[in-house]
C-alpha cells in the first residue's frame, strides 16, 4: 500500500493539520472504500499504524484508511480551545476527497472507527452524518460521554481536557455531542442509522462504562453489536479485532 503524510491547512483550527493515510496501490475499476480512523487521548495520527498491523489488514480488502491528529480535543468544537468538530466533519472530508478522487464518496463505502476517545469521535460523526457513513466501530470507546464528563470534571482543575472540550455534562446533555440521546432520537423518528459495533476488554478500566452505554443505547431502541474479550485498555487486544471488524463491515478480501 501507499503511505501518505498529508499536512493541510485547516481554517477552523488556524494551522496545518497532520493526517496519515494508507491507500491501496493496486489498480481498481472503482473508487476505494474509506475508513476514517481516530486515535485516543494523548496520541496522534500515527498511533494505529505503529501499534497495529492495519496496513496489512487494509491491503487485503482494498481499503483506504484516513487517520487525522485530533490531539485531546475529543472531536469537539471545544468550549475553550480549537474547533476540531468543524475540522473533522467539514474540512477533512472535503480536503481528502478533493485531493484523492480515487476514494469513494458513497455512503455504503465510508466507515468510521476509533480507540477510546476516538471511538466516541467515530460514533459522533456517524450518528450526526448518517447520510455519509454507513457504520461506526468503537474499540473501548468513550461512549457514555455525558457520564464520563460528569465524572472527570467533578473535582478537576479548570485546564482539564474534559472541561476545556465539553465544559460540563449539563452543557452537552441532549445535544449533538450526546451520542446516546442522539441515536435514540434518530431511532424514535424512524431516521436513517449507521450500524454500530463495540469492543472492550474485560480487564479494561472502562468496561463498566461501555456496558452501561450499551444498555442505554438498547433501552432507546438502538441496535448495536457488542463484543468482549480478555484484555486491558490496549492495542494488544484491539489489533486482534481489526480484521473481525472488517468482516463485520462486510469488506471482502481480495
pLDDT along the chain (254 residues), means of 10: 94 94 89 96 91 96 96 89 95 96 97 97 98 98 95 80 90 96 97 98 97 98 98 98 98 90
Nearest-5° Cα angle at 239, 235 to 241: 125
- What pLDDT is attached to residue 159? 73
CATH numbers and ranges of domains, the chain: 2-145+178-248 (3.40.50.1820)
Pairing of strands 64-68, 2-10: unpaired
- What pLDDT is attached to residue 42? 83
Distance CA 173, CA 58 (A): 36
- What pLDDT is attached to residue 150? 93
- What pLDDT is attached to residue 18? 95
- What pLDDT is attached to residue 216? 98
- What pLDDT is attached to residue 2? 93
Query: Rounded to two decimals, what is the model's pTM?
Result: 0.96
Amino acid at each position: 500500500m501507499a503511505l501518505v503524510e498529508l499536512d493541510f491547512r485547516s481554517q477552523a483550527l488556524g494551522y496545518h493539520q497532520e493526517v496519515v493515510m494508507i491507500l491501496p496501490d493496486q489498480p481498481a475499476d472503482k473508487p476505494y472504500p474509506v475508513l476514517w480512523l481516530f486515535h485516543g487521548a494523548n496520541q496522534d495520527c500515527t498511533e494505529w499504524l505503529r501499534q497495529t498491523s492495519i496496513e496489512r489488514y487494509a491491503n487485503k480488502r482494498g481499503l483506504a484508511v484516513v487517520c487525522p491528529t485530533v490531539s485531546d480535543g475529543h472531536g469537539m468544537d471545544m468550549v475553550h480551545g480549537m474547533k476540531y468538530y468543524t475540522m473533522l466533519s467539514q474540512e477533512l472530508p472535503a480536503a481528502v476527497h478533493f485531493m484523492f478522487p480515487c476514494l469513494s464518496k458513497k455512503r455504503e463505502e465510508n466507515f468510521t472507527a476509533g480507540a477510546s476517545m476516538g471511538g466516541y469521535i467515530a460514533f459522533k460523526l456517524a450518528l450526526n452524518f448518517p447520510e455519509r457513513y454507513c457504520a461506526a466501530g468503537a474499540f473501548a470507546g468513550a461512549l457514555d460521554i455525558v457520564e464520563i464528563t460528569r465524572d472527570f470534571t467533578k473535582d478537576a482543575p479548570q485546564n482539564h481536557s474534559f472541561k476545556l472540550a465539553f465544559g460540563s455534562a449539563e452543557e452537552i446533555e441532549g445535544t449533538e455531542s450526546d451520542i446516546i440521546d442522539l441515536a435514540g432520537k434518530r431511532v424514535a423518528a424512524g431516521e436513517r442509522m449507521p450500524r454500530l459495533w463495540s469492543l472492550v476488554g474485560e480487564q479494561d478500566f472502562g468496561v463498566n462504562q461501555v456496558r452501561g452505554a450499551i444498555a442505554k443505547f438498547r433501552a432507546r431502541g438502538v441496535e448495536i453489536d457488542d463484543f468482549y474479550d480478555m484484555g486491558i485498555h490496549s492495542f494488544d487486544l484491539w489489533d486482534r479485532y481489526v480484521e473481525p471488524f472488517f468482516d463485520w463491515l462486510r469488506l471482502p478480501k481480495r
